[in-house]
């Protein structure tokens, strides 16, 4: 699967985001080594602390469904430049997919790619 195809899957699931408070819809798609794709969107709650980001939703789905090694993650939103994962999502990414390509995109077609480790080089470790 190409990065463009993974971004397209993230864009499709973005339309299902539950964002009644921020109106900021985000979609994500995770690709594992076996070629399976797991998607997720942000789901807001009036208690913002329990809101789940698209990246974490897709990663949790991948884990729950027994994904093999995660090789790529795409995330897309309606932003001025390619959307960037928040700090919590970066920690999730670096723990579950440290070498994965993170393909960050916006609706205008702009794309940036980095690894999870590049996005969070001095991560929290136990």
> Catalytic annotation on 110?
no
Would you give the end-to-end CA distance of the chain in angstroms? 34
* Dist. CA 126–CA 124, nearest whole Å: 7
Tokens of 93: 């990414």
> In this structure, what token pair is assigned to residue 86?
């928040």
CB neighbour list of residue 28: distance below 8 Å, 6 or more residues apart: 10, 13, 39, 40, 41, 53, 54, 55, 57, 58, 59, 73, 74, 75, 76
Which member of 55, 95, 117, 118 is catalytic? 55
Any idea which residues carry the catalytic annotation?
Answer: 55
């Amino acid at each position: 699967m190409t990065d463009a195809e993974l971004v397209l899957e993230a864009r499709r699931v973005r339309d299902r985001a539950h964002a009644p408070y921020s109106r900021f819809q985000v979609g994500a798609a995770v690709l594992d080594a076996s070629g399976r794709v797991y998607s997720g969107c942000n789901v807001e709650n009036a208690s913002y602390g329990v809101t789940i980001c698209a990246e974490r939703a897709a990663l949790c789905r991948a884990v729950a469904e027994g994904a093999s090694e995660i090789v790529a993650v795409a995330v897309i939103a309606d932003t001025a430049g390619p959307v960037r994962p928040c700090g919590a999502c970066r920690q999730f990414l670096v723990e579950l997919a440290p070498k994965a390509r993170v393909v960050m995109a916006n609706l205008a077609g702009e794309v940036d790619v980095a690894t999870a480790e590049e996005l969070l080089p001095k991560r929290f470790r136990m």
